Amino acid sequence: MPEFNQNDQQVSDGANLLISMLVRYPELGTINFDPEENSIKLTFMISGIPTAVDFENLKRLIINSVAAYHLLEDIKTSSMDVELSSYEQVAMLSITRDVHTMSRGEINLTIKLLRDRFAERLVADHNDTMLEEDLRLQEEVIEDMLENMRKQYNDNHGLIGIREDGRVFVFNK
């Protein structure tokens, strides 16, 4: 396993991005960054398993909403994949996006759609101690780190961020 030190700016930007996203968005279960594909995979957990028709409708809603957002923000067409897997009575919804066109606004839109569609079924690890100003700070960090990742991340080491028992962990793959 490769060794990194805290002065490695690229690893720091990637880790900070994953940490900030997991702290800011309690609905996110895991985040995977794949430097070879230059993509981020966001995974959400939903209590109960949606039907195939419900999943296809949700998938179409997410893809069309993000496409409309990109059109309004004048962002070029991007890659997006939406998948559903399940384990017992929990569904894992994974959205894979390229880092170059992903934005904080798009993440907010996606989470809002999931909150609206699944309400109480969307698994979230809420932190009641976070103040509004802390949330805004996390959003600024996310935007800055996304910008840094778009410009300069060329390391070939992936990262994975997970949430467990109110804590956030980031590991090298």
Over range 55-75, report the average pLDDT.
93
The answer to whether residue 1 is domain-embedded is no
For the whole model, what pTM was predicted? 0.85
Q: Looking at per-residue confidence, does 129 or 20 come out higher?
A: 20
Domain count, the chain: 1
Q: What is the pLDDT of residue 113?
A: 95
Q: How many CB atoms lie within 10 A of CB 24?
A: 22
Q: Domain containing 97: what range?
A: 9-172
Rounded to whole angstroms, how far apart are CA atoms 13 and 18?
9
**Quick check: is 155 in a domain?**
yes
Asked whether residue 167 is domain-assigned, the answer is: yes
pLDDT (tens digit per residue) in 20-30: 899 888 899 99
Is residue 149 in a domain?
yes
Mean pLDDT of the region 10-16 = 71
Asked whether residue 3 is assigned to any structural domain, the reply reads no
Q: Flag whether 2 is in a domain.
A: no
Residue 49, in any domain of the structure: yes
**Higher pLDDT residue, 18 or 6?**
18
88: region left, alpha or beta (phi > 0 left; psi from -120 to 50 alpha): left
Which has the minimum average pLDDT: 95-104, 123-132, 153-162?
Answer: 123-132
